[in-house]
């Protein structure tokens, strides 16, 4: 598939089969993240692939635990793939995905967040090209800011001064592929 077709046909997926992805596919998705553009060529982001459905579920619950729905009142994300913003009955911020990649960045670097999301974008495009379903999820900082979260950081030997910036969920789509969303008008121009 041409890159623009991969971009056009990728959607955030929030309903996953229990089927686990392969380690090989996770390696490729992580490599795509590690090769993302990064401010100053620092290569500051660190990616942890959690290839374990039970651990992914635990993290997904920590991710949703501190979620303040009221701050997002009035928002609506998707009818076909409702997010935790849309549906208060969703109990995990990771929607049953069997794997997740956590992207960490230095706490004190101006472009730490931007770098992490560049990684995430590369990763979801690679995932889609491999036939995997994916979704970027925020709230990395809050997810690990509690005793259970800090234990994960110790177990994974995350260096001091690093903080989780975002997640990339990985798995296989459950149900129908969502239809493409129409682009809002007037969001770009070309000046000759």
Ligand X SMILES: Cc1cc2nc3c(=O)[nH]c(=O)nc-3n(C[C@H](O)[C@H](O)[C@H](O)COP(=O)(O)O)c2cc1C
Q: Tell me which residues touch ligand X (CB under 6 A).
A: 11-12, 14, 77, 83, 117, 135-139, 181
Instruction: Provide, rounded to whole angstroms, the least separation between the CB of residue 75 and ligand X.
Output: 10
- The Cα–Cα gap between 38 and 99 comes to 25
Instruction: Provide, rounded to whole angstroms, the least separation between the CB of residue 192 and ligand X.
Output: 30
Judged by CB, which is closer to ligand X: 34, or 77? 77
Judged by CB, which is closer to ligand X: 53, or 120? 120
- The Cα–Cα gap between 81 and 137 comes to 14
Please name the helix (run of DSSP H) or strand (run of DSSP E) that holds residue 100, with its range, or none: strand 99-106
Residue indicated by tokens 């651990």: 55
Instruction: Provide, rounded to whole angstroms, the least separation between the CB of residue 157 and ligand X.
Output: 26
Instruction: Provide, rounded to whole angstroms, the least separation between the CB of residue 120 and ligand X.
Output: 7
Instruction: Provide, rounded to whole angstroms, the least separation between the CB of residue 165 and ligand X.
Output: 10
- The Cα–Cα gap between 66 and 173 comes to 27
- The Cα–Cα gap between 83 and 72 comes to 12
CB burial readout 97-107, b (16+ within 10 A) else e = bbbbbbbbbbe
- Give alpha helix (H) positions in 37-135: 53-65, 112-129
* DSSP of 125-187: HHHHHTT-EEEEE--HHHHTSSHHHHHHHHHTTPPTTEEEEEEEEEE-B-SPPPPPPPPPTTS
Instruction: Provide, rounded to whole angstroms, the least separation between the CB of residue 83 and ligand X.
Output: 4
């Amino acid at each position: 598939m041409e890159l623009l077709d991969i971009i056009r046909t990728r959607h955030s997926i929030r309903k996953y089969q229990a089927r686990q992805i392969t380690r090989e596919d996770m390696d490729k998705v992580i490599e795509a993240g590690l090769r993302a553009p990064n401010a100053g060529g620092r290569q500051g982001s660190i990616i942890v692939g959690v290839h374990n459905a039970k651990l992914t579920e635990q993290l997904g619950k920590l991710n949703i635990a501190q979620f303040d729905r009221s701050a997002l009142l009035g928002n609506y994300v998707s009818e076909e793939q409702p997010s935790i913003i849309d549906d208060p009955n969703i109990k995990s911020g990771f929607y049953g995905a069997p794997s997740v990649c956590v992207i960490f960045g230095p706490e004190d670097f101006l472009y730490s967040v931007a770098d992490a999301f560049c990684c995430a974008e590369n990763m979801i495009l690679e995932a889609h090209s491999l036939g995997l379903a994916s979704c970027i999820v925020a709230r990395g900082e809050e997810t690990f800011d509690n005793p259970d979260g800090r234990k994960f950081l110790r177990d994974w030997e995350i260096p001091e001064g690093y903080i989780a910036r975002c997640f990339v969920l990985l798995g296989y789509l459950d149900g129908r592929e969502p239809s493409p969303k129409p682009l809002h008008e007037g969001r770009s121009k070309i000046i000759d």
